[in-house]
Each structure stands twice: as structure tokens, then as C-alpha cells.
Amino acid sequence: MAPQVLLCDDDRTSTLILKRMLEKSGLSVAVAQNGKEGVSMTLQLKPMLLILDLDMPVKNGLSVLEDLRAQGGGWSPRILVLSAHESPADEAKVKSLGAHDMVIKPFHPAEFLQKIQVLIREGGS
């Protein structure tokens, strides 16, 4: 089955935790370890939902959003961005680049999963 969720985050701890939480809620998850992989895997796997960390080396989240917009090829997943507590991104800006929602790390698991449910529902309808 094609992954419903693509998780794009460079932090191993974060990836392990989020993957587990998503799988527990019955979603299948693929992981991209940096922004470059994030773009190519989105285009290749066409996930329903992309969870994108903004703060990554190699290629950051904002640049991933820009690339996906430029070369999305008709496929646009729902996008949830993860932003750091200490340097929260401008929510209006990330939304104007194509993201649908944002959570600030560290977040409460319930808050995160609730946003995921909403995005999946929107994506499925």
C-alpha cells in the first residue's frame, strides 16, 4: 500500500517518535531524512499528507514548499509543518507557500494527532 503519510524530518529521535504515533493511529508512514529527499519522495510516492520540519540542513522546509509548488505536477498533499518553539515560523507565510497547518515543537501528542486527523479528513474528501 502506498504510504498515506510522508514524514520529512532530519532528527532521528523526532522521526522515531512521530512515526510510532502515526502508525499507532493506523497510518502508513514513509520517512524522508532531509528536504531534498522530501521533495523527490513527495513527487514519487504522492502521499495524502506531508509532515514537514521547517528547520533542516541541506534543504529547509520553506524551500521544500517552494519546490513542491514549482514542480508539484498536479499532486498536492495536505501539508503540516513543524516549527521550533524558539523560532516559530510566520504561520501566514508558510500557509501562503502551500502548507495547511502548523504545530510548534515540542507539542502535546494529542494536539498533533488531532491536527493529523483533520488534515487526513480534508485530504480524503
Partner 1 sequence: MDILIAEDNPVNQEIMRMFMAKAGHQIVIAVDGQRAVEAASKQRFDVILMDGQMPEMDGLEAARQIRRTNGPNRQTPIIALTASVADTDRDLCRKAGMDDFLSKPIRAEELQRAITQWSGPVDAGALNSLQAEMGGRHSPVYQELLGSFLKDTRMNLKALIECLANGNFEEVAHHAHLLKGASSYFGARRTQNICYELEKAARAGHRAPLDGLRISLDREVNALLTVLGKDQSVTGEVR
Residues that bind partner 1 (CB under 8 A): 11-14, 16-17, 20-21, 24, 55, 57, 84-87, 105-106, 108-109
Question: Which residue number, 45 or 56, has a Cβ lying nearer to partner 1?
Answer: 56
Question: Which residue number, 45 or 82, has a Cβ lying nearer to partner 1?
Answer: 82
Nearest approach, Cβ of residue 62 and partner 1 (Å) = 16
Question: Which residue number, 53 or 67, has a Cβ lying nearer to partner 1?
Answer: 53
Nearest approach, Cβ of residue 109 and partner 1 (Å) = 5
Nearest approach, Cβ of residue 55 and partner 1 (Å) = 7
Question: Which residue number, 73 or 109, has a Cβ lying nearer to partner 1?
Answer: 109
What dihedral angle (degrees, nearest 10) is formed by the CA atoms of 64, 106, 19, 34? 30
Nearest approach, Cβ of residue 85 and partner 1 (Å) = 7
**Would you say 100 and 80 are in contact if contact means Cβ atoms under 8 Å apart?**
yes
Residues 6+ apart with CB under 8 A from 65: 52, 79, 81, 94, 97, 98, 99
